[in-house]
Amino acid sequence: MEAQALPQRRPLPWRRVLLSAAALVAVALIAGALAGFVWLRGYEPLDRGNTAGSNPGDGVMVQPPVGSGGTGVFFPRYRENGSFRVQAGVRNHGRFTVSVIGVPRPDPEDPLSLVAAEVSPPTRPSYHGSPIDANHPIRLRPGDQRDITFVYRFNGRCIGGQPPRYWANPTATYLSSRTAPLRIKYARWFDKTQNFTLPFAITLVCKSGWTNPHR
């Protein structure tokens, strides 16, 4: 009795092998590209530098006690329909050169509205400088720092004005955010708003609260 021959496996065609390998490579490349895109969209390269201050006459900057680990507070002096300026060092701690192209459109319902960002020449530091916008950006290479002046406007009314020594004994307050939104461009194609964290808080003090005519 003759033994039956075992069935022979047909060799896998090289074309199919190459197509399968190419498909795996394509999937890996697409996954890597998507991961890189997501990472770049969430990229936040701006960090606080080592300088901070406020325009003389615009309010009082109160520093925390030495060794407390606290945060300084700027108390703006209220002027109806007025504005005030604060300044902070902005540092690029990322790996790409960043262009700062200004601030987003102000929100009319925000009691303390960030309306502009300005920069002064490094040789003549000042709280008044040239506006930063898409036509007049500032470029920060990795590790660079520039002092940026943030211009805020009062979008409402401090009821009853401010109490004496409003920076030392507040009776009623309106607290603004510690972040200042900056428009940035980086890595050639990316354009976004980063909420830059100021090195101090901003606290508006009023005698009897605050009213906003836009609400």
pLDDT in tens, 6-55: 555 555 566 665 666 555 555 555 655 455 444 456 578 999 998 899 99
**pLDDT value at 94 more than 50:** yes
Q: Mean pLDDT for the chain?
A: 82
Cα–Cα dist 111/133, whole Å: 23
What is the predicted pLDDT for the residue at 60?
94
What is the predicted pLDDT for the residue at 155?
87
Give 5's pLDDT tier (boundaries 50, 70, 90): low
**pLDDT value at 68 more than 50:** no
Mean pLDDT along residues 190-202: 92
Q: Is 115 in a helix, a strand, or coil?
A: strand
What percent of the chain stands above pLDDT 70? 76
What is the predicted pLDDT for the residue at 39?
47
Q: Is 165 left (phi over 0), alpha (psi -120 to 50) or beta?
A: left
Mean pLDDT along residues 71-76: 90
Give 126's pLDDT tier (boundaries 50, 70, 90): confident
User: Looking at 74-88, 93-107, 132-146, 157-171, which range is the least confident one?
Assistant: 157-171
What is the predicted pLDDT for the residue at 1?
52
Cα–Cα dist 208/185, whole Å: 42
192 in Cβ contact with 147 (< 8 Å): no
201 in Cβ contact with 54 (< 8 Å): no
* Residue 205: how many other CB atoms lie within 10 Å: 24
Cα–Cα dist 65/132, whole Å: 34
Give 171's pLDDT tier (boundaries 50, 70, 90): confident
